[in-house]
Amino acid sequence: MIDIRQLREDPQPAKDSLIARGDDPARIDEVLAADGLRLKKQQDFESMRAEQKALSKSIGRADPSERAAVLAQAKELAAKVKEAEAEAGAASAKAQELLAALPNIIIPGIPAGGEDDYEVIAHRGSKIRDFAAEGIKVRDHLEIGEMLQAIDVKRGAKVSGSRFYYLRGIGARLELALLTCAWDLAEQHGFIPMTTPTMVTPDTMRGTGFLTEHSEEIYYLPADDLYLVGTSEVALGGYHGGEILELGEEPLRYSGWSACYRREAGSHGKDVRGIIRVHQFNKVEMFSYCRPEVSQDEHQRLLALEEEMLAKVELPYRVIDTAAGDLGTSAARKFDCEAWLPSQERYLELTSTSNCTTYQARRLGIRYRDENGKTQPVATLNGTLACTRWLVAILENHQQADGSVYVPQALRPYLGGKEILEPVPNA
């Protein structure tokens, strides 16, 4: 949530942010008008209540002949106070609703525009292979996965419907190896490992900013009034909800391992083959709580760890600075790492890391004490360190002519030393 005091003092940065996102800057004026009405209604109520208290005290001192009239006046005023209180409450709720619906203010300097207006920061990692020069006909990850008997989408669809799958044999082992490697890397860099709940309350989902433009993506369990998370960011963000943290110079860092669920609403016909865009997957997510003034440095740290993990699996990739209109509600800036996908000759997003500044913490009531002992909202950041989708890029980029797959050296200790994944005969 944006600080209303910041909007009152200088609304222009918030307006500029909405313009960069492709949104209507008049929303800021609407919020400020609602806030002004809230303040007026609250003042009217408090003034009327003070008058009521003064009148109540005068009843005992009133002349007996006037007491009936004073009581009648008090009764009439009580009704007006009740009405004023209701109006103040309604105005407050409306102002809060409009403020809560505003997206975070972006960090100056990021690209304006929508999904296609990102800025490429760098191309890194392994060299993109020339499969034609190697005499290899490129197979996609599903064909390779089926040759390895590692992926089974047909039975996934039979059991659960489209966009579900089984990872079996070496596929299941490879996913576990990848996620364990990521978790180890996070722990080496001071992130506390966490297995997290995959069902959360509406307050937690709303507090992290996901019940806005992302709400159609979320599975809801009405009988329990719980949501299935699409990322452990939600559970990690809610972990310290309502708390005052002891934050020193170093951020408080967690790495969450969880299953994630997404409805993929609106993606009909997009990435329907294989396991690129699915309803359920596993992920290791980094999450940091820090002082706001160091949040941009922490953001670079998360990005560097994502790149370190991509280097471990030996993939060619690029880093992009996501455009404002493609940011989630909570994010003030987001970097994506996209790996090269040989079968489609395009880049595929594998990681994203977002700086949410104080937006989530204000909603969740997470604070720290500054040097003067005053409580202030913390900044929160998140970043993907590995997920099931990485298997797509690993299988395709490391495929060999016979359908076998080279195992990146960093993953071999987690796979019993395997250097090559061999196709299964008659698969």
Residues belonging to the active site:
262, 277, 349, 352, 389
Is residue 126 within 8 A of residue 84, CB to CB? The reply is no
Q: What are phi and psi of 57, to 5 degrees?
A: -65, -25
Q: Is 129 annotated as a binding residue?
A: no
**What separation in angstroms does the CA of 94 have from each of 43, 47, 88, 130, 214?**
16, 21, 10, 58, 21
Q: Is 173 annotated as a binding residue?
A: no
How far is the C-alpha of 349 from the C-alpha of 347, rounded, in Å? 7
Whole-angstrom Cα Rg for the chain: 27
Q: What are phi and psi of 311, to 5 degrees?
A: -65, -35
Q: Is 208 annotated as a binding residue?
A: no
For 76-114, b where at least 16 C-beta lie within 10 A, e where not — what string? ebeeebeebbebbeebbeebbebbbebbbbbbeebbeee
Q: Is 263 annotated as a binding residue?
A: yes
* CA-CA-CA-CA torsion sign (289, 291, 292, 295): negative
Q: Is 357 annotated as a binding residue?
A: no
Q: Is 272 annotated as a binding residue?
A: no
Q: Is 258 annotated as a binding residue?
A: no
Q: Is 217 annotated as a binding residue?
A: no
Q: Is 295 annotated as a binding residue?
A: no
How far is the C-alpha of 183 from the C-alpha of 412, rounded, in Å? 15
HEC-encoded secondary structure of 332-343: CEEEEEEEEECC
Q: Is 198 annotated as a binding residue?
A: no
How far is the C-alpha of 326 from the C-alpha of 115, rounded, in Å? 5
Is residue 277 within 8 A of residue 313, CB to CB? The reply is no
Q: Is 195 annotated as a binding residue?
A: no
Is residue 378 within 8 A of residue 367, CB to CB? The reply is yes
Binding residues for L-serine: 231-233, 285, 384
- Specify binding-site residues: 231-233, 262-264, 278, 285, 349-352, 384
> Which residues contribute to the annotated binding site for ATP?
262-264, 278, 349-352
